Structure 1
Amino acid sequence: MEKYIIPALIGAAAGLFAAYWRTRYAAQAQDLSKRIEELCDSIAKLEELSCGYWDAKEDKSSSHYILGVKTKISLLINYLDEEYKEFSKDKTSDILSEFFDSCTGGKFGSEEVASDSARQRKILITGEKLKIDLMKSRHKLY
């Protein structure tokens, strides 16, 4: 009977250890997944605001508000890169730069901004590419 106690204790300890690490990893993966979802929502918001800005028919969104949303996205990406080893901002930096340039490049912030449908199209395409890249990294968590 005594020869079964030590293996049973070792097995129980190994089971507890495995359950602890699995739960910890799953919670962190879910948190990262939620943050990526939040980031995609912010990207969609910036797409909408920027497309409205480059449309002469619509009332212009404040350029300061658009820059604020852009900064919010940058801060969240930097946070994810620092806090989660599964996330790498280097993988998204090129498309992120292209997206930001399409949103706030050209004559952004000047008094006279003409309607620019090509820029609007570029905003939507690069924004979607960025969200797809983020969803791919999110998918790798599971």
Structure 2
Amino acid sequence: MTTNTRTLYDRDVVEWADRQAQLLRDGRFDLLDLENLIEEVEDVGNRHRDKVKSQLKRMLWHLLKIKYQPSKHTDSWDITIVDAANQIKDEFEDRPSLRRHLEESFDLCYKRARRDAANETRLDISTFPMQCPESIRVKAWELINSDD
């Protein structure tokens, strides 16, 4: 790796990526910027993991609002929940390993959804259980695993 390659990464990541791809196609592995290439490859997976976690959090947040503030329940909450489930399903269809990552992240997503639900509803955070209620956990996975 040359100093110019490292500088190019900092200056123009798109041009850097084009050059790295060409080096790979040409079999010029000795010239690859491995440090940044590894980081970028890892970032690809992280972006997809973050997307499904964000959608799960959004779904759980709205399920909490429905359960603990039913008088304010609107159709838009239901639409948001279904949209989040569909976004997750689309990611799972293209990247099946994300299911395992989402299962591992469920409790963290719930914790964040709990905080957001408390902030939005202005209900005390203690209104929302520390652990995800089983009814919400089951509903979330039903929506994610449904065939529609």
Would you call these one fold, judging by a TM-score over 0.5?
no
TM-score, normalization by structure 1: 0.44
Structure number, greater radius of gyration: 1
Flag the structure with more relative contact order, 1 or 2, with Cα contacts below 8 A and sequence separation at least 6. 1
Which structure has greater helix proportion? 2
